[in-house]
Amino acid sequence: MNENIRSVIEAVYQGRKTVDEAVLELKTMPFQDIGFAKVDLHRKMRQGVGEVIYGEGKTADQIIKIAEVLMESGQCPILITRMNKEVAGEVGVLKDFVYHEEAKLGIIGENEKAGGIGRIVIATGGTSDIPIAEEAALTAEALGNDVLRLYDVGVAGLHRLLTHLEDIMSASVIVVIAGMEGALASVIGGLSDCPVIAVPTSIGYGASYGGISALLSMLNSCASGVAVVNIDNGFGAGYLAGMINQMGSR
């Protein structure tokens, strides 16, 4: 049972709240309407992770107001994805806010304590894929997972990957991030015994079509156990990897 609900029930049991007060609190928990947004305060109860703020297209003032509502409800950490440097500079007035420019990711508060069934490995085909990889890695770490980064281990120099076989074979989940033809996901999928989450990136020359070539290659992987998220969706991959890694503790 979620800790927020548990705390309300315990307060009634200990006489610190009346039944009516508890009912009112539970009724008003689901969301808070702040005009331009309806902030979901029940997300953590339903899914285990609180609402994440998608920063692209939002003003700094909107992000600040949403974050303040989440902080008042006790959510920590708070993730703000796809936020540019200029907006992050204004959001920096919030306490305990840290901005990771490469990943375009802001985090308010401390990461969840690392746990789960094992370690998440984040592997990239090339250095150009690192911004998406960092979005995945920082997301997974914020949600309480141990993460190992293996960057620039693409198939153009397969020996680079093979020096990390022990890390690959001992991982609980692997996130593979690659552009161009996206072949790295199939290679790692054929070496590991854990779920592999493939992230196609928009890195590549003209015929890569902004990541569509890598996406189709990953969708057509001959390796079993490979699932694919959307182009450049590092956050989605890091979030899903964290959910898988935490299944044992749940």
Q: Where are the domains of the chain?
A: 30-108, 115-245
- Model confidence at 209, in pLDDT bands (50, 70, 90)? very high
In this structure, are strands 115-124 and 97-100 parallel, antiparallel, or unpaired?
unpaired
The mean of the pLDDT values for the chain is 90
Return the closest-CA partner of residue 143 out of 32, 249, 8: 249
Peptide bond into 200 cis (omega under 30): no
pLDDT digits (tens, 9 = 90+) for 30-72: 887 788 888 888 787 777 788 999 999 999 999 999 999 998 8
pLDDT digits (tens, 9 = 90+) for 232-249: 999 999 999 999 999 876
Please work out, in degrees rounded to the nearest 5, the angle formed at the alpha carbon of residue 231 by the alpha carbons of 228 and 233: 80
Cβ proximity of 161 and 188 under 8 Å: yes
pLDDT for 73: 81
The answer on pLDDT for 29 being more than 80 is no
**Biggest CA pair distance of the chain:** 67
Q: b or e along 81-113 (b: 16 or more beta carbons within 10 Å of the residue's beta carbon)?
A: bbbeeebbeebeebeebebbeebbbbbbbeebe
Residue 34 sits at φ, ψ, to 5 deg, of: -115, 25
Q: What is the fold, at CATH topology level, of the domain defined by 115-245?
A: Rossmann fold (3.40.50)
Predicted TM-score of the model (pTM)? 0.86
pLDDT digits (tens, 9 = 90+) for 103-115: 999 999 988 888 8
pLDDT digits (tens, 9 = 90+) for 141-198: 999 999 999 999 989 899 999 999 999 999 999 999 999 999 999 999 999 999 999 9
